[in-house]
Amino acid sequence: MVSFNTYNFLLVALVGVSFVQCNIEYDDIPTNVLVTTETAHCFDEARGAQCLTQVKAEGGKLTVNFSLNTTACDSECQTSKGYKYYQVKLCFSDKSIEERPWRKHKDEIKKDKQCKKSLKDDIEFTAEGGSLEYEFDDAQPGATYYVTVFTKNNDGDYLSYGTTLGSTGYFEIDPYQPVDDGLKTGAAIMSAISIVILIGCFVNEHQQKKE
């Protein structure tokens, strides 16, 4: 018969495992995911840098390619670790989080605001990986970015990751700039005035010809 102390030990062990799983940090997992974007190679994270590919915030598309580095983790490793899914995340560059605490980097992956936006969750895992085409909307802030791809197990625990920082580097989101309602009204009025002036000129010219 299992003693009460044994039950307590097992309970503490389970709680401890759960705590560790929920508090996984970047340094806790290997970097064995290969990640690239179909953008120009650029390692200058300053906004407006000449090498940066500009992606529109409204309707702009980004293609991300990813796969597992099988040299670092072979099929036996993949089975033992329980690789199940990929997750693709968008990350602000270090320059784009300066003086912006709401984008602050955290070592704990689930709390990291620098890489908060998920482009796609639960992509079925294969060692060969795949690609994701993502279309941005007008709410995406203008900034410089890179991409991080994680692998996860069936319980959603992070197993490994990789970024574009060592491959294609950074790209820039060109922010959506809506036209002010006042400008729209002004443009409409100017168009109407232009039409009236053109009609007036036409009538005047026609009258002069008659005279």
Q: What is the pLDDT of residue 208?
A: 62
Flag the least confident range among 3-17, 134-148, 192-206: 3-17
pLDDT tens profile 72-120: 999 999 999 999 999 999 999 999 999 999 999 999 999 999 999 999 9
The fold of 24-178 is: Immunoglobulin-like (2.60.40)
Express each pLDDT in 58-74 by its tens digit. 999 999 999 999 999 99
Q: What DSSP letter does each residue of the chain carry, written as one string?
A: ---HHHHHHHHHHHHHHHHHHHT-BGGGS---EEEEESS--B---STT-TTPPEEETTT-EEEEEEEE-TTTS-HHHHHHHT--EEEEEEEE-SGGGTT-GGG---SBGGG-STT-EEEEEEEEP-TT-EEEEEE--TTSPSEEEEEEEEEE-TT--EEEEEESTTTTB-EEEE---PPPHHHHHHHHHHHHHHHHHHHHHHHHHHHHHH-
Q: 16 or 58, which is more confident?
A: 58
Q: For 137-193, write each residue's pLDDT tens digit.
A: 999 999 999 999 999 999 999 999 999 999 999 999 999 987 544 544 555 555 656
Pairwise pLDDT comparison (2 vs 25), residue with the higher score: 25
Provide the whole-model pTM: 0.76
Domain locations in the chain? 24-178, 180-211
**Distance, CA of 67 to CA of 149 (rounded, Å):** 9
pLDDT value at 11 more than 80: no
* pLDDT value of residue 206: 62
Q: Residue 3: what pLDDT?
A: 54
